[in-house]
Structure 1
């Protein structure tokens, strides 16, 4: 995922960068347009670069900054394209696109991706965003207390009860980012209402968080301040996990019948990862074209 790839990107760059160089700007958090859950902490938020260049000006007065910047952008593009060539696209992406009833709607330059399909008389739209992977910090889900803040006897007890925790912790660091899904189910011509389900795709599973019912489906579809306020005013229902277990099971089966299943849960994080790299390369090229104009 992005965290692993950032390490790969950083390795060749350290040959030409001074100590303390930060990861590229895409790791800075940006808000998702449809996420209802609390924002994930931004990756390395304290690494903002100071703009002051006074100390270096005496050595760089004769440098053509535009030319140097263009060359640096070229270098970054080459690094990213080399990574892209050496990385094989996950089989899950092709398998899903070839065999799934969903149609992919991916606009170059946009963060949000959509999957659409018809099911009987229903129209289903699933939205997700690459912002979730750029915002992801693999260490953010650690315990609220650091080990040195916990009582020593508590730490010893945990180690005795869970001797494999150290290994599990290493595995968690390699776990993919949770990708938020906004699932909109409409019945055009039959009812004006719509179900909007907030869920998360992670580790090959779809986890339902909340279910909303909108009496007017356009409130869920339209992206405007007025519609956002109306969505915020709608009663969200209780947390999905607090519902009767039979109701939870039936709702999960309801989604599975519509193709919202393990195959989708594997596809979404892999596709987000691939799109994030494509968008970063596109961004680099656009900036270089502007600088060179």
Structure 2
């Protein structure tokens, strides 16, 4: 009968183990008996809870980071609020806005608070209803001055005149520019009261018309108090409105940031 070679597992169940093997088996059983209760202790819920209290976890670290982030955010907001309050106070102290007027000659003036335009309205004669929609300053052109390195600027305002004769009538629409002390007509056309056409023909540029026709159209507006005096009024009015709306904007931003 062949004997098992050294290093090869003996699968014969009838063969008796040697004394050394019996000793190792008893040692292994003894170690297992010691390890079992140790494992139960190491992985017990009470020990896990104790370890978690002794060593801060990632949640605590995350809370700490959030706290620092909130502090920085609060400091940033406080600085913005301080600057906004300072700017508001400066505007009120140095050049406070005036109460807007509600009339100009025969026109009533609607300030449209919080918006970028105003509306003037009047009646002319028995049939004509005149409405003028006016933008705030929407552009500028340089005015060269030979005596200075820097040049002043002329601010520009756009206004649109609508003249109708009853609810169902067509509307004469005149697009104008208001400079500091004069007005310029840009377009002059009639549109339907229902505005059915998407891209209606609005005629040539005003300056391309015959000069006598241009003069007669300026006289037509002058008769209805749409003239250089109106341009001067609009520029003064818009300077005040520009400041009023700026302060209103500052206060709105401040109120939004102050909300918790």
Q: TM-score range by the shorter chain?
A: 0.5 to 0.7
Instruction: Spell out the pairing of 1:145-156 with structure 2 (5 A cutoff).
Output: none
Distance in 2 between residues matched to 1:287 and 1:209, nearest whole Å:
37
Distance in 2 between residues matched to 1:73 and 1:101, nearest whole Å:
40
Matched residues, number: 189
Larger of the two Rg values belongs to structure? 2
Compare the two structures and name the one with the higher strand fraction. Answer: 2
User: Residue 187 of structure 2 corresponds to which residue in structure 1?
Assistant: 210
CA gap of 1:137–1:291, structure 2 versus 1, over 3 A, is: same
Q: Deviations over 1:50-76 (max 9, x none)?
A: xxxxxxx99x94862222221111011
CA gap of 1:117–1:67, structure 2 versus 1, over 3 A, is: same
User: Residue 272 of structure 1 corresponds to which residue in structure 2?
Assistant: 238
Task: Name the TM-score, length of structure 1 as normaliser.
Answer: 0.58
User: Residue 166 of structure 1 corresponds to which residue in structure 2?
Assistant: 146
Larger relative CO (CA 8 A, sep 6+): 1 or 2?
A: 1
C-alpha contact 1:208 1:240 (8 A) present in aligned 2: yes
Match of 1:287 among 250, 253, 256: 253
Q: Deviations over 1:84-113 (max 9, x none)?
A: 24x8x6xxx86xx65500000112111111
CA gap of 1:286–1:260, structure 2 versus 1, over 3 A, is: same
Q: Which runs of 5+ in 2 are unaligned?
A: 1-67
Task: Calculate the aligned-residue CA RMSD, in Å.
Answer: 2.9
Distance in 2 between residues matched to 1:245 and 1:202, nearest whole Å:
21
Task: Name the TM-score, length of structure 2 as normaliser.
Answer: 0.64
User: Residue 76 of structure 2 corresponds to which residue in structure 1?
Assistant: 65
C-alpha contact 2:140 2:154 (8 A) present in aligned 1: no
